[in-house]
Chains A and B, each alone.
Chain A
Amino acid sequence: MQSATKVARRDATAASGDSVAILTLSGDIASTSKDTMLQAYHGVGAVKKVLLDFSGVDYINSSGIAIIIQMLIEERAAGHRTIGIFGLTPHFKKVFTMVGVSKYATISADEASALAEM
């Protein structure tokens, strides 16, 4: 019943000049997304800035948010990477803020503002 999660990677350059890997998510973001999302995240290589693009995502539940938190835990432990988020609906921007994700990842409205802020 759940729509499979897909992750597409592309590269961009932040306003700071740093390389950024943009992981564009689609499908449901739920407990079943864990392997797909973490594999994509681990596969970005040496890039120090990662943006998660949720503009094609309609469904996120708390288990899906926990996967983002898992990424933030890994980033914090390794201490070498910054994660940003864009493309959330106003509702999910509120939810991500409520659970505290916005304390550890910048949440931007769209790709242009996310790249400008990185």
Chain B
Amino acid sequence: MKNGSSVEVRLPSELGFEKIAMSTAAGMAALMGFSEDRIEDLKTAVAEACINAIEHGNRFDDRLDVGVVLSSNDDELEIKVIDDGGGLHSTPSAPNIDRKISGEEEPRGMGMFLIQSLVDEAEWHNGPPGKSFVRLVIRLDKENS
């Protein structure tokens, strides 16, 4: 695959379509030579980013799409997941299972933690409608670390 190759997918704001982004990301990562376990990490991170965009960014609005842009650069794969929401105004704290079990914390709310834990870089950018995005990066050199 040529360095600098890019693929763009547009998803309806409906749960389940994140699987299209997952399989696209998995295909691109496989072409770049990522291992199976890294591809599984990436699939989960991409799924969670798309679910956040569908639920919280676009609020299930069927007039809005979620954009997913995948770009290969040297030894890294970058994925931007773009929605029409206002972006993230605060980063939730890491989930605490003890607090969840005791009822002090909602059972949900683990998506961002998983994203941050499963890829090499994850950053959230706020912007006007259609410009807020999360940027994920996985690197091939992680294979040997």
Instruction: Assess whether A69 is in contact with B41, with CB atoms less than 8 Å apart.
Output: no
Question: Which size bracket describes the interface of B in this complex?
Answer: 20 to 34
Q: How many A-B residue pairs have CB under 8 A?
A: 74
Q: A66-B107, A91-B41, A95-B44 are in contact. Are A1 and B101 (CB under 8 A)?
A: no
Instruction: Assess whether A103 is in contact with B97, with CB atoms less than 8 Å apart.
Output: yes
Q: Is A32 an interface residue (CB 8 A)?
A: yes
Instruction: Please list 22 pairs of residues, one from A and one from B, whose beta carbons are closer than 8 Å in the complex, sorted by A's number.
Output: A2-B16, A28-B16, A31-B15, A32-B15, A61-B18, A61-B44, A61-B51, A61-B111, A62-B114, A66-B106, A66-B107, A66-B109, A67-B107, A69-B100, A69-B107, A73-B107, A89-B40, A90-B37, A95-B44, A98-B117, A99-B97, A101-B97
> In the complex, what's the smallest C-beta–C-beta distance from B33 to chain A, in angstroms?
18
Chain A 62-91 interface 0/1 with B at a Cβ cutoff of 8 Å (1 = within) = 110111011011001000000000000111
Residues of B within 8 A of A59 (CB): 19
B residues at A contact (CB < 8 Å): 14-19, 37, 40-41, 44, 47-48, 51, 95-98, 100-103, 106-111, 113-114, 117-118
> In the complex, what's the smallest C-beta–C-beta distance from A71 to chain B, in angstroms?
9
> In the complex, what's the smallest C-beta–C-beta distance from A19 to chain B, in angstroms?
25
